[in-house]
Amino acid sequence: MKNCIVAQSGGPTSVINASAMGVLDSNTNSHYYDNVYAGINGIQGVLNKHIVNLTSLPYDDVKGLKYTPSSGLGSCRYRLKSFKKSTEEYLRLFDILEEYEIKTFFYIGGNDSQDTVYKLSEYANEHNKDVKFIGIPKTIDNDLLIMDHTPGFGSAAKLIATQVLENFLDASVYPASGVFILETMGRDTGWLAASACIASINGKPAVDFIYLPEVAFDADKFLIDVSKKLMEKRHVFVVVSEGIRTKEGIFLGEIGEVCLDKFGHAKLGGVCAYLKNLIQTTNTAEKVRVLELSTIQRCSMHCSSQTDIDEAYDVGIAAANYSINGISGNMIGIKRLSNSPYKSVPFVLKASDVANNIKYFPKEWINAEGNNVTPEAYEYTLPLIMGEPKILIENGLPKYTFLEDNFKL
């Protein structure tokens, strides 16, 4: 018996389930594995033997996952310790994999997930374990090294740009001068905030200023930027990343009470509130409205990119196909071949080259003033948002697939 298992980790995206379906559908065609299992709630679920046989479920009950947002197999934020320090989790995990006769483990996730792929493949190699580990990329943050972009980013960019357009129009209806500030995710990098550059009205950019973590935030210069723009027009539209910080390295969202996630990362937010207070206390504008997009950026299938869905599905298929060749400790990336017409292909790289690293937004794509992005950012992002999702509609709403009842946990 030769089986495989697929699991998801970290924050969800609109298209993460398409990658899982790529693995399942590829095996339906190849019949290489006897069973495709799902680890419910990532590596943490596998360690707890929360495992479901996807191939035993009616395909009609599962196929809708391709057009369903969030992590349909559940997720976790769980970091394995190095096996050099502790082997307890590794011994348990490999006992479970042996019990289920699993030969390949597909892990869908970002930086921390690829760290798990690397650690497990290294342990298997050193201890002669006949199990292969392959990573599949996922993150709206678009911060994985080497690859052109990550599944999830294109759909998040499309949602952000759409929200910019709609709120631009909403903010423009009143005669009083005002500032609208929209906050995106992006703790370390500015890819998401920068994607707002693709929003345009009558051929002109809807956003006046974009502030990214890659440039130190200067409050005095920000107020000057806004004041000057208000002399030119009644309404100013600003997009900021949650990760913008001062030259001292202090996150604006950390000013005040700070909470940490399970990885010790600061849970950011509150940038909008800080900037709103800054503008109001200095009487820079008559009116200030703010919007923190939060999780809508990662779960809006109704506003996702079909290009993004297709690429997420394709990297799942590629992972399953490459696994037949016996690779391990690798992950699948996306390589852009051309912009017009847009074309990309999956490729293989080492998970260790991606794990625990960050791909920052290019400094050369940020304008000299540090308050917006260059045309290169527009040209990079635009092809990734193309195409509308082919979602089913029932009673006027999207019909999504929810598998929790099948898990019986």
- Active site (catalytic) residues: 141
Beta pairing, strands 235-241 & 209-211: parallel
Alpha-carbon span 23 to 6, nearest angstrom: 8
Nearest CA to 171 out of 191, 198, 199, 213 is that of 199
Instruction: Spell out the long-range contacts of 285-289 with Cβ–Cβ below 8 A and sequence spacing 24 or more.
Output: 285/177, 285/178, 285/179, 285/226, 285/230, 285/236, 286/176, 286/177, 286/178, 287/174, 287/176, 287/177, 287/178, 287/179, 288/178, 288/179, 288/180, 288/181, 289/171, 289/178, 289/179, 289/180, 289/181
Alpha-carbon span 62 to 241, nearest angstrom: 36
Write out the two tokens for 379: 């040209």
The string of DSSP codes covering 151-193 is TTHHHHHHHHHHHHHHHHHHHTSSSS-EEEEEEE--SS--HHH
* Phi, psi dihedral angles at 335 (to 5 degrees): -110, 125
Beta pairing, strands 397-398 & 51-53: unpaired
* Phi, psi dihedral angles at 266 (to 5 degrees): -65, 130
Length in residues, the chain: 409
Alpha-carbon span 18 to 11, nearest angstrom: 15
113, exposed or middle or buried, with CB in 10 Å at 0-12, 13-18, 19+? Answer: buried
Per residue, the 3-state secondary structure of 207-245, as one string, reads: CCEEECCCCCCCHHHHHHHHHHHHHHCCEEEEEEECCCE
Nearest CA to 142 out of 361, 315, 355, 345 is that of 361
